[in-house]
Amino acid sequence: MSTGEDLLRSRGLRVTRPRLAVLDVLSAGGHLEVDEITRRVRQRIDSVSTQAVYDVLGALSRAGLSRRIEPAGSPARYEARVGDNHHHVVCRGCGQIADVDCAVGSAPCLDPNVAHGFELDEAEVTFWGLCPACQSRRSADD
Binding residues: 91, 94, 131, 134
| Residue among 46, 42, 43, 81 nearest 60 (CA) | 81
How far is C-alpha 60 from the chain's CA centre?
Answer: 12
Residue in 99, 112, 115, 117 binding Zn ion, rule: CB under 5 A = 99
- Annotated binding-site positions for Zn(2+): 91, 94, 131, 134
The SS3 call for residue 128 is strand
Q: Give the whole-angstrom CA distance, residue 124 versus residue 109.
A: 9
Complex with Zn ion: residue 22 or 79, whichever CB lies closer:
79
| Residue among 75, 85, 89 nearest 38 (CA) | 75
Give the shortest CB-132-to-Zn ion separation in angstroms. Answer: 8
Binding mask 54-93 for Zn ion (x = CB under 5 A): -------------------------x-----------x-x
Residue in 15, 94, 115, 120 binding Zn ion, rule: CB under 5 A = 94
DSSP 107: S
77-79 vs 32-33, strand pairing mode: antiparallel
Give the shortest CB-15-to-Zn ion separation in angstroms. Answer: 25
77 in Cβ contact with 69 (< 8 Å): yes
Give the shortest CB-71-to-Zn ion separation in angstroms. Answer: 11
Residues near Zn ion (CB under 5 A): 79, 91, 93-94, 96, 99, 102, 104, 109, 131, 134
